[in-house]
Structure 1
């Protein structure tokens, strides 16, 4: 299920987390070589990804919204 990014915040370990339209959160780490997301490291990069969609595994599993 594709859900749009509506915002970002950092978790307790300072990793970036996307807030999705469905109410779930999803980590969007830049962790080379496994995950290549250099855009998450800048305010401009994150702003450019607002509205971009991600597959929400939590929706697929029927989980409740994150808090």
Structure 2
């Protein structure tokens, strides 16, 4: 199964070689100011999940059924690996 990653994900990572990246389950979604879908992760970080073929193939994000099926799916959270503070969550889902 394809794991959604932001563009530029394979750039320098802050964890030691051989250390697996932090996996965090999706607990919800919202749209950003540009109307792109953002996954809300259990750790408190947000991660864009875009369907933008051929670069990013996340067709599941285009339907409410697809998004619901991916709740609980674990994404690699680079922000956790970097020790970043939690992201601000939206007050309401659009």
- Number of the residue aligned with 1:24: 45
What SS does the corresponding residue of 1:5 show, helix, strand or coil? strand
Residue 12 of structure 1 aligns to a residue in which SS?
coil
Residues 16-55 of structure 1: pairs in structure 2 closer than 5 A: 16-55=37-76
Structure 1, unmatched stretches of 5+, are none
In 2, Cα distance between equivalents of 1:31 and 1:66: 24
Q: Deviations over 1:5-52 (max 9, x none)?
A: 000000000000000000000000000000001000000000000000
The structure whose residues are more often helix, as a share, is: 1
Q: Which residue of 1 aligns with 2:23?
A: 2
Structure 2 unaligned regions, length at least 5: 1-21, 89-94
Tell me the TM-score normalized by structure 1. 0.99
- In the alignment of these two chains, the number of paired residues is 67
Deviating beyond 2 angstroms after TM superposition, the runs of 4 or more aligned structure 1 residues are: none
CA distance in 1, matches of 2:52, 2:35: 13
